[in-house]
Amino acid sequence: MNVRLRKSERILLALLAAVCTLSFTGVASVLHLKRFGLAVDGLEHGAVLKTAAVREVSVTAEDPSALDKVDVFVDDEPVLTRRDGDRLRLHGFEPVEGVHTLRARVRGASLLWLDAEIEHNFTIDNTAPSLTIDRTEAADPRTSITVRGTTSEAVLVRVGQNSAQLLDGTFEVTVPAAATVFVEARDTAGNATGRHMTVPVVRPAMRVAHLTPGEWTSPQSRQAVFAMARKGEIDTVVLDVKDEAGQVPYLSNVVLAGQIGAVSDRYDPRSAVDQLHRAGLRAVARVVPFRDPVLAKAAWHAGLRGHAAHDGALAFTNSSHPEVRGYVVALAREAASLGFDDVLLDQAGNELPASFLAEAREGVRAAGACLGVVATQGVAGVPADVDFVVQPLG
């Protein structure tokens, strides 16, 4: 009886030893194989990305030498790879739109070596979201605006620097006053659709009286204008900020105006605007943009020949020169900051560059006024980058 017991014990001990040996061997193998540590950089499991982003995807391993034995498959099809230092990059691979599976595996590794293989599902999306913007009008150039619209597949909509509230494909956001805003819809993959939207201002029709600085400072002329307003004959008074002689008839802070001798102290525009507003009248600043003999002659004599139009008489400036444009825009912005409701470009013909009008409109609207032009050849030929158009002043 004792002999059989000892044999049983020996058998049991032998079995336990065998199990322990196998377990130790398995654990040792697993510990040894963990050095593979395969990983995919630039591609999270379930990611949505554009085809171009796949160029940044790479396979890494804890032991970079193991990369020489790594095969990569997408949708079970082998993909060419190339070593790039301690990583393996996909070479010449551009997946089409849709759902895909990337699998990287150490060649010849046992199926028991779990970390010798890694798999990620991903979706390629190269289609930008749709974007429709509702027509938006501002009550006046100084008030904020609410932009609304619809989009599909977008996860983010921005209007300027503001993120819109997005719910079931519709968006809405209130932004500061602006002449134009840029609206962009972006999806998970980074595809974006964007467009500039012009924001018109609701404006009344104008019945206009134009006064020169001398007429404004004449009590008789000024009172005659106020009498016309009381009778309902006019609702707007236009005053000169820069006239066709290039003169700036008030103490302007625009540096160039002072440097070229254009400034004079013939009237106080801020006081004039206050008086007009108290009388219930709109105040409009008249700016003649490029008929400017003062600037043309000053620039020519200073050797800045590109500032002047080569018309012989040096009566006009070069409308394509950035400094000339900047001068006009600076005066227009200053007029808006002085309280004028509108800035009106006069004697400019119908050939004003659209890019200049857009620049001037942005500047004027940013300062709180609207930009208009006098149409000498009919409204049809005037570019759309203005807030209003009027007939030639009487």
* Grouped pLDDT means (10 residues each) for the chain, 394 residues: 48 47 41 66 95 94 90 96 94 94 87 75 97 91 92 95 94 91 96 93 89 96 96 97 97 98 98 97 97 96 92 89 97 97 85 85 92 74 75 79
What pLDDT, on a 0 to 100 scale, did the predictor assign at position 281?
Answer: 97
Q: Where in the chain is the domain with CATH 3.20.20.80?
A: 208-390
Pick the CATH number of 208-390 from 1.25.40.10, 3.30.2310.20, 3.20.20.80, 3.40.1280.10: 3.20.20.80
What pLDDT, on a 0 to 100 scale, did the predictor assign at position 310?
Answer: 80
CA distance 258 to 277: 28
Q: Where in the chain is the domain with CATH 2.60.40.10?
A: 130-198
Handedness of CA 328, 252, 277, 391 (dihedral sign): negative
Q: Tell me which long-range contacts 94-97 makes (C-beta under 8 A, separation of at least 24).
A: 94/51, 94/54, 95/51, 95/54, 95/124, 96/51, 96/124, 97/51, 97/124, 97/125, 97/126, 97/127
What pLDDT, on a 0 to 100 scale, did the predictor assign at position 42?
Answer: 93
Write out the two tokens for 34: 């963990």
CA distance 384 to 198: 10
Handedness of CA 154, 160, 161, 162 (dihedral sign): negative
130-198 has which fold?
Answer: Immunoglobulin-like (2.60.40)
Could you report the per-residue pLDDT of 381-391, keeping only the tens digit for each?
556 678 888 88
Could you report the per-residue pLDDT of 33-43, keeping only the tens digit for each?
445 788 999 99
As a CATH number, domain 39-124 is: 2.60.40
Could you report the per-residue pLDDT of 238-266, keeping only the tens digit for each?
999 999 999 999 999 999 999 999 999 99
